[in-house]
């Protein structure tokens, strides 16, 4: 129950925002707009799902944007230059990402370092390596890519539910199941609530940390694949700053940055709210794109202040020791 | 009285000297200095000159980190102050432009300090808001264009010289002196370290933590604004998108290399500046050696990891930790 209020508020904000847009622009409330909202933010939704796990466990992962950039370059080069079949490239890439995340998680746990600085170094490494591989934009011409972009489920009203939107929805559903209905998910909440208590309860904290960062990096890799479907190119400067958008989406989705509380569904709606702001600005036409950043900042502030108030209220009603949301 | 150097800091200074010597090996003219048009030129001067913005940022950042906080918004504050200075430079006298830019920096810092000290937000989150929104504000000021100016007075901050020494270096020395005198000449430095060491204990012993923290963030904003002015006047223009981009990370690295713990507590101003110079000396070395500049990020990441590992209290337990992990 404790997890419900922030998500409900996020959902309300989204509905209110959508209603405002629909009232202002007659064509807004169509399946076309909604489907585009899902397609344009597909990669953000995938990577934000992974970030939700990390943040609920009390960590943070700043490397995801660079991992997406690395992925697009890696996929483009291995398909176009080395002639690898796309599927093989994807598998190899996801394995690489898993190893990358595992190393970061291991360093965080075994050297007791702040996740912030370790993933910062990871961000430099991933971006640096993608620069080293190629600084040019490489178009991907593999037939799989045109197949993927041609395929879509047609919705009534002209909306096209594209492959990458479906991938994102799939990740969100699987992520929700993993977080809310498995032992792994329960442990993630426990870690964010109180690390020491969790270790004393018999959870192997080290392997858990490693797995959480592996999950985040693998999902960032998947997001990179989705991004490469979206742009049909690999470019080492793609997805700069996405880590911030991702964290913002997770926070707006009601996940507590101190860990211990949050949900994948909230994150999903947080992603949609960011997409909604962008879409509104596109529809309006007179507003400039930098209003997106300002609006996101204001929303971030509002939600963090709200969380702060909720946490303080909870602390006041109980002496201390609020934290773990699930047993 | 002012600075304590012995023992602590030896490693950083040795590292700087070693890197400079490596630079000398890569480029034989590295230590050559020549006086031209009343200004010193040479690779060594260049290292100090190019390192000035990060050195300025690290002066503010080191105090913030000493209180146990972090300021992610300094890059965005640089963009804001650069944008203000550049847009006022040609229509107003330079004191107005510089004063307005510095004032904006102080206001940004006060906002961060308010969120951290009064609303008690986590510093990473609180400053994330301005990091996201600040660049939008800067773009609002420049109306999305790259604003250029021709005022030689403002350009002096980036390209001028005092007694043959480039202005940015003089500014860094001046700020280092002022900060050092204020912080170490009084009990302020001790109180800052106390706040970072144990906020609750220092509050109970009568230290006014809140105004202290707000003041520290304001100082950090001021330093960032000055760095923004230097960066803008160097290119005689303000680019809201790219000014100060990723420099917050460099500043944090400089502070970490300077031996200040990210958990707060003891700090050293002069070693933070030394850290900034180490970073710049590496950058310059990579450029001079003819390696692609893309190596920068990877090398930086490697250096951070090494420094952090050396600082890690867990390193001494490494053997035991390894044994436990294998089990």
Contact A293 B122 (CB under 8 A): no
Three-class secondary structure of residue A324 per DSSP: coil
Quote the tokens at residue A223.
Answer: 């997001």
pLDDT in tens, A55-109: 999 898 989 999 999 999 999 999 888 888 888 999 999 999 999 999 999 999 8
d(CA A72, CA A18): 32
pLDDT at residue number B321: 54
pLDDT at residue number A100: 94
- Asked whether residue B54 is domain-assigned, the answer is yes
Q: A263 near A87, Cβ under 8 Å?
A: no
Q: Is A150 on the interface with B (CB under 8 A)?
A: no
- The residue in chain A having the minimum alpha-carbon distance to the alpha carbon of residue B306 is A121
d(CA A273, CA A160): 20
- Asked whether residue B231 is domain-assigned, the answer is yes
- Asked whether residue A322 is domain-assigned, the answer is no
Q: Domain range for residue B75? A: 10-297
Give B319's pLDDT tier (boundaries 50, 70, 90): very low
pLDDT at residue number A106: 92
Facing A128 at nearest CB: one of B136, B144, B298: B298
- Asked whether residue B326 is domain-assigned, the answer is no
Q: How many CB pairs under 8 A join A and B?
A: 121
Q: Is A112 on the interface with B (CB under 8 A)?
A: yes
- Asked whether residue B34 is domain-assigned, the answer is yes
Q: Which residues from chain B sit within 8 angstroms of residue A311, using beta carbons? A: none
pLDDT in tens, B80-103: 999 999 888 888 888 888 999 999
Q: A210 near A105, Cβ under 8 Å?
A: yes
- Asked whether residue A124 is domain-assigned, the answer is yes
- Asked whether residue A326 is domain-assigned, the answer is no
Q: A238 near A231, Cβ under 8 Å?
A: yes
Strand partners, B161: B166
Task: Look up the ipTM and state it.
Answer: 0.74
- The residue in chain B having the minimum alpha-carbon distance to the alpha carbon of residue A135 is B294
Domain count, chain A: 1
pLDDT in tens, B253-271: 888 888 887 777 888 888 8
CB within 8 Å of chain B, chain A residues 179-238: 206
Domain count, chain B: 1
Q: Domain range for residue A199? A: 4-317
Q: Is A133 on the interface with B (CB under 8 A)?
A: no
- Asked whether residue B325 is domain-assigned, the answer is no
Kindly state the helix (H) or strand (E) to which residue A183 belongs, with its residue range. helix A183-193
- Asked whether residue A83 is domain-assigned, the answer is yes
- Asked whether residue B323 is domain-assigned, the answer is no
- Asked whether residue A93 is domain-assigned, the answer is yes
d(CA A259, CA A192): 4
B30: CATH = 1.10.3470
- State pTM to two decimals: 0.82
- Asked whether residue B245 is domain-assigned, the answer is yes
- Asked whether residue A190 is domain-assigned, the answer is yes
Q: A70 near A224, Cβ under 8 Å?
A: yes
A132: CATH = 1.10.3470
- Asked whether residue B97 is domain-assigned, the answer is yes
């Amino acid at each position: 129950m404790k997890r419900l209020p922030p998500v409900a508020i996020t959902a309300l904000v989204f509905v209110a925002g959508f209603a405002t847009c629909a009232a202002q622009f007659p064509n807004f409330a169509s399946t076309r707009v909604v489907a585009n909202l899902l397609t344009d933010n597909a990669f953000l939704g995938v990577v934000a799902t992974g970030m939700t796990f990390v943040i609920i466990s009390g960590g943070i992962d700043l490397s995801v944007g660079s991992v997406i950039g690395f992925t697009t370059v890696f996929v483009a080069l291995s398909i176009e230059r080395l002639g690898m079949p796309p599927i093989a490239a994807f598998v190899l890439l996801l394995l690489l990402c898993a190893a990358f995340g595992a190393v970061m998680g291991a360093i965080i746990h075994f050297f007791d370092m702040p996740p912030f600085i370790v993933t910062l170094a990871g961000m430099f490494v991933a971006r640096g390596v993608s620069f080293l591989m190629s600084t040019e934009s490489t178009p991907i011409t593999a037939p799989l890519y045109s197949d993927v972009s041609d395929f879509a489920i047609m919705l009534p009203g002209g909306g096209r539910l594209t492959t990458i939107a479906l991938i994102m929805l799939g990740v969100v559903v699987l992520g929700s199941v993993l977080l809310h209905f498995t032992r792994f998910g329960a442990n993630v909440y426990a870690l964010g609530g109180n690390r020491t208590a969790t270790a004393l309860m018999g959870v192997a904290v080290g392997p858990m940390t490693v797995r959480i960062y592996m999950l985040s990096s693998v999902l960032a890799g998947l997001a990179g694949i989705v991004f490469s479907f979206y742009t049909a190119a690999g470019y080492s400067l793609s997805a700069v700053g996405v880590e911030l958008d991702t964290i913002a989406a997770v926070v707006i989705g009601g996940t507590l940055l101190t860990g211990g509380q949050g949900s994948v569904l909230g994150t999903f709606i947080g992603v949609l709210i960011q997409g909604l702001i962008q879409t509104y600005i596109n529809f309006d036409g007179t507003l400039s794109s930098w209003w997106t950043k300002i609006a996101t900042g204001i929303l971030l502030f509002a939600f963090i202040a709200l969380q702060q108030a909720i946490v303080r209220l909870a602390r006041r009603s109980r002496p201390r020791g609020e934290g773990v949301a699930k047993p | 009285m002012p600075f304590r150097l012995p023992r602590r800091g030896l490693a950083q200074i040795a590292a700087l000297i070693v890197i400079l010597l490596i630079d000398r090996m890569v480029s034989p003219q590295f230590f050559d200095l020549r006086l031209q048009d009343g200004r010193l030129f040479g690779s060594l001067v260049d290292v100090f000159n190019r390192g000035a913005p990060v050195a300025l940022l690290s002066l503010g950042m080191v105090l913030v980190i000493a209180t146990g906080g972090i300021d992610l918004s300094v890059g965005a504050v640089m963009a804001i102050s650069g944008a203000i200075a550049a847009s006022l430079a040609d229509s107003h006298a330079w004191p107005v432009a510089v004063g307005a830019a510095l004032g904006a920096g102080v206001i940004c810092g006060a906002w961060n300090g308010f969120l951290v000290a009064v609303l008690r937000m986590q510093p990473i989150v609180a400053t994330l808001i301005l990091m996201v929104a600040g660049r939008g504000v800067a773009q609002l000021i420049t109306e999305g264009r790259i604003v250029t100016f021709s005022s030689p007075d403002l350009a002096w901050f980036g390209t001028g010289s005092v007694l043959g020494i480039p202005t940015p270096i003089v500014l860094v020395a001046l700020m280092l002196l002022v900060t050092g005198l204020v912080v170490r000449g009084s009990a302020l430095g001790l109180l800052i370290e106390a706040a970072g060491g144990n906020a609750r204990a220092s509050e109970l012993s009568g230290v006014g933590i809140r105004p202290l923290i707000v003041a520290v963030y304001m100082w950090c904003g001021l330093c960032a604004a000055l760095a923004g002015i230097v960066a803008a006047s160097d290119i005689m223009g303000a680019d809201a998108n790219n000014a100060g981009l990723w420099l917050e990370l460099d500043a944090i690295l400089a502070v970490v290399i300077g031996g200040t713990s990210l958990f707060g507590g003891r700090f050293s101003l002069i070693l933070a500046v030394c850290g900034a110079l180490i970073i710049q000396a590496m950058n310059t070395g990579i450029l001079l050696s003819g390696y692609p500049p893309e190596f920068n990020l990877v090398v930086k990441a490697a250096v951070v990891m090494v420094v952090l590992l050396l600082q890690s209290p867990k390193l001494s337990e490494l053997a035991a930790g390894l044994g436990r992990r294998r089990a």
